[in-house]
Amino acid sequence: MCGFCGYINYNEKVKDETIIKKMNETLYKRGPDEQKIYIDNNVCLGHNRLSIIDVKYGTQPMSIKKCENIYTIVYNGELYNTLEIKNDLKNKGYTFNNNSDTEVILTAYIEYKEKCVELFNGIFSFVIYDKYNNSIFLARDRLGIKPLFYTVWDNTYIFASEIKALLEHPKVKKIFDKECLLELIGVGPAHTPGKTYFKNIYEIQPGHIGIINKDGLLTYKYWDLETKVCYDNEKTAIEKIHYLVEDSCKRQLISDVGICTMLSGGIDSSILTKIAKDNILDLTTYSIDYLNNDTDFTSNIYQQTKDSDFVKIMVDSLKTNHKTIKIDNSYLFSLLDEALIARDVPGMADIDSSMLAFCKEISKDFKVCISGECSDEIFGGYPWFYRKHLVEHTGFPWALSENLRTNLIKKDILKENDIKDYVKYCISDTLSNVTYIDENDTFENRFKDINYLTIKWFMNTLVERTDRMSMFTSLEVRVPFADHRIFEYVYNLPAKMKLGLNNSNEPIEKYLLRKAFEDEIPNEVLYRKKSPFPKTYSPDYLNLVETKLKTILDNKNSKIYEILNVEYIKNLLNTHGKDLKENLFGQLMTYPQTLAYIIQINNWFEKYNPNILL
């Protein structure tokens, strides 16, 4: 894994290395092993490398000469079908100088041009400079696991793995307008695919490519989830799911450096850890917990059991080298600012900072880690796939918080229903891409709507957290469930099959995945109730965020006075959230995380200092 940046201007030659060096330095933590830049006429490319595959020879930017042309790539990701593509290209007469997937991607582009992305199985974002045509090709993986941002100012096209690198270019202006406000408060910490909380700073959307030439920038969709008829019965579906998950995980165990797994004691991480242990004899596993969580933990509808009990079952079963990382609440709180900088925007508050703390510890011993993320979104693991009031909610089913969000904004900035209308538009626009087999099958069609929304919005928010927090610590996290083959297949299985609905219509979360591995995972873990990423339940943490927010509010010059309803927030603090009827972002962000999100918003305005144009 790595980080890259660059820019091109068709009216100006590059004068020196100053700008690209500054941009590249911001991405150092994504790739501390090697830093390189490339300059040619009006083009600059920068790269920071985290050496995983072909540590010695995979240096970037990497160039290949073909006929009279030179192609140069900067790339972030891992390709899991490198050998197959390499053999195909060898049969076409190409030769290779090293074992890196970087060279394979660049050679595939030379042969297939923009169609090359359709061959790739992996997580990736990359940019290729075509010297002869003086053009730039940008690409991002199908599910958006690896990031790629861009902006255009004064005829300069600027791109990077993270927003912070874009902001180092002197032509970029930091602007926060009403649409940014609707994104930040209306749907945050999620965001509309393609948009950010900065005006005129965008992302290449998952499954999209872009081409920059003298005529401008055009982006195209090369992949999306498509509705297709699937005639497989349950037995066949279970067999195929087992094969796809196992194959995906095995492919992602390839590394020239050590590899470990995150083990939460849930079904997803347990399945991947079992596969990893079958292939890595001396496997190390990691779990996260909080100091005093044994006494502070309170069972609730979303998190009924502690992870630690189930982690122990898996460790005893698989005999892994296990390490439990316990986080102190004051340390968790102290990382809110660092998590903000890692993400460049307000994020999931301590859900981010806890992941950051987790990755910091893992990265002391490993460069590569396997995570069980991206399973719930496709297999139906969240409560909004089957709980009636969530299924029927007209907004985002994980964020029944339109009223809370409206109340958070300073009066008179927006009209009364602006947030609800914006959410309605976002949902409608996203679902315009969904088609149905039977227009009259309301149950299946609603499930498909929720499935698609969850992948495009909710999952995107989680994988952004994982990428930014892990890469900020120079740790590569791989997500085997985010294999497009798994998503394409499971997406088109009937909802009733995925939920395991019987005659009593009682759903079983991720039914097919559980059945696929029922002979390989201890029963207690296999049928454990879905549990979200662990949060702290400590009153000490709540006291820390309340005290910090009060300090911010005591300063009348605090930036949030310009956009937020301070009186409403003060009332929340005075009642300790007892009157709060809505969670900002489902079970992940309740009262403490809502306060921490507001703290991050204030600190974001202070640190990044965008020009507020409301």
Q: List pLDDT tens digits, range 70-122.
A: 999 999 999 999 999 999 999 999 999 988 999 999 999 999 999 999 999 99
pLDDT at 256: 82
Please compute Rg for the chain using Cα positions. Answer: 24
Tokens at 479, concatenated: 């997500």
Instruction: Map tokens 């992948």 to a residue.
Output: 455
- Mean pLDDT score, 403-414: 95
Under DSSP, is residue 497 helix (H, G, I), strand (E, B) or coil? helix
Residue percentage of the chain with pLDDT more than 90:
87
Task: Check whether 185 has a pLDDT greater than 80.
Answer: yes
**Could you tell me the residue ranges of all domains in the chain?**
2-221, 234-526, 539-613
Query: What does the alpha-carbon distance between residue 264 and residue 287 come to, in Å, rounded to a whole number?
Result: 6
Please tell me if the domain spanning 2-221 has the same topology as the one spanning 234-526. Answer: no
Q: List pLDDT tens digits, range 479-524.
A: 999 999 999 999 999 999 999 986 667 899 999 999 999 999 999 9
Task: Assign 184 a pLDDT band (cuts: 50, 70, 90).
Answer: very high
pLDDT at 1: 64
Range from 61-75, 139-153, 375-389, 574-588 carrying the lowest mean pLDDT: 574-588
- Residues forming the active site: 2
Under DSSP, is residue 1 helix (H, G, I), strand (E, B) or coil? coil
CA atoms within a 13 Å half-sphere pointing along the CA-CB vector of 107: 22
**Side chain identity at 376, as an amino acid letter?**
D
Q: How far is CA 25 from the centre of its chain?
A: 23
Under DSSP, is residue 211 helix (H, G, I), strand (E, B) or coil? strand
* Residue 533 phi, psi dihedral angles, 5° rounding: -55, 130
The residues with which 46 forms a beta bridge, in sequence order, are: 5, 37
pLDDT at 59: 85
- Mean pLDDT score, 3-16: 95
The pTM score is 0.96
Q: List pLDDT tens digits, range 375-397.
A: 999 999 999 999 999 999 999 99
Strand 321-327 relative to strand 284-290: parallel, antiparallel, unpaired? Answer: parallel
- The total of other beta-carbon atoms located within 10 Å of residue 576's CB is 12
Query: What does the alpha-carbon distance between residue 466 and residue 460 come to, in Å, rounded to a whole number?
Result: 10
- The total of other beta-carbon atoms located within 10 Å of residue 551's CB is 11
Q: How far is CA 558 from the centre of its chain?
A: 30
pLDDT at 291: 84
CATH homologous superfamily of 2-221 equals Aminohydrolase, N-terminal nucleophile (Ntn) domain (3.60.20.10)
Residue percentage of the chain with pLDDT more than 70:
95
| Pick among 3.40.50.1100, 3.40.50.300, 3.40.30.10, 3.40.50.620: CATH of 234-526 | 3.40.50.620
- The total of other beta-carbon atoms located within 10 Å of residue 207's CB is 20
Contacts of 465 (CB under 8 A, 6+ apart): 343, 347, 348, 351, 352, 355
Q: Residue 61, preceding bond cis, omega within 30 degrees?
A: yes
In residues, how long is the chain?
Answer: 614
Query: What does the alpha-carbon distance between residue 111 and residue 104 come to, in Å, rounded to a whole number?
Result: 11
